[in-house]
Structure 1
Amino acid sequence: MTIDELLENFELITNWEDRYRVLIDLGRNLPDFPEEAKTEENRVEGCTSQVWLLCNSLPGEPPRIELRADSDSFIVKGLLAILLLTYSGHTAEEIKRIDIEDIFRQLGLEQNLSPNRRSGFFATVETIHALAEKAA
């Protein structure tokens, strides 16, 4: 699934309970995250839930970024899946130009997530930007 396909799917789902189910399903389909990588170094600061993030540089010129993430919260895993759909496979420069706030609005997340989850979502975005820049 691409981020555009997810946006289209969310447009068809008007009930937020159903959207939460989609988020949880997205989170369940995250690629496996190595247990040994659940370290303080890979933990995202600013999240109420535990969130871990790995960033790898894929061969190529310029290198593309591959992200892996995990959380101890099902909803947060779904939010991480959205970020991986949005950012993985892009260059650091492309990542900087992606308007994640617009995607956040289009998905209707701004009015349906708690302030803590919203804050954690954007803390993860900042971490992705920093890791992508470092990996480039």
Structure 2
Amino acid sequence: MATPAFEEIVEDFEFLEDWEDRYRHVIEQGKAMEPLDDAFKVPATKVHGCASQVWLHPMIESGVFKFDGDSDALIVRGLIAVLRSLYNGLPVAEVPKVDAGAELARLGLNDHLSAQRSNGLRSMIERIRQVAQENA
């Protein structure tokens, strides 16, 4: 169960031959995101378990889940963009049902992220799931 935005990233990755190109594409996704307003970069939105600074600001409107985020690391900002494409626009009750590991595996991310980045990515996914479960 992936959103059309995530399917677009999957398709883009199919055309990119090597991991360096894919890595650059993830970074470009992050650069294309609007920066998170500094007012939302507070302890309540900070994600612990990430090597870099990460903030996620979830919003639920009319039962639809959405979040914005930011990081001080370019690749992590790109990973936030990828997660936004995976989750934004889903009904809040559907968010916890997404098998993020399987979906992200379609991009080959598991094989190319450091252990620290993988842990941080899992922490972001857990935060997203937690917020959605609390608001479903």
TM-score interval, smaller chain: over 0.9
Count of residue pairs the alignment pairs up: 133
The reply to whether residue 52 of structure 1 matches residue 66 of structure 2 is no
**Contact 1:65/1:135, CA 8 A, preserved across alignment:** no
Alpha-carbon offset, residue 31 of structure 1: 2.4
| CA shift for structure 1 position 129 | 0.7
| Deviations, residues 65-113 of structure 1 (Å, cap 9, x unaligned) | 1100000000001100010000011122211111111112110111100
Cα RMSD, aligned residues only: 1.2
Equivalent position amino acid for 1:51 in 2: V
TM-score (norm 2): 0.93
- SS of the equivalent of 2:69 reads strand
Cα distance in 1 for residues equivalent to 2:34 and 2:130: 22
1:11 lines up with 2:14 in the alignment: yes
Distance, in Å, in 1 between the alignment partners of 2:93 and 2:79 is 22
Does the CA-based 8 Å contact 2:36-2:69 persist in structure 1? yes
CA offset at residue 133 of structure 1?
A: 2.2
Matched residue type, 2:127: T
Aligned-residue identity in percent: 34
1:99 maps to what in 2?
A: 99
Do the aligned residues in 2 keep the contact of 1:56 with 1:135 (CA within 8 Å)?
A: no
Unpaired runs of 5+ in structure 2?
Answer: none
Structure 1, unmatched stretches of 5+, are none
Q: Provide the rounded CA distance (Å) in 2 between the counterparts of 1:14 and 1:96.
A: 32
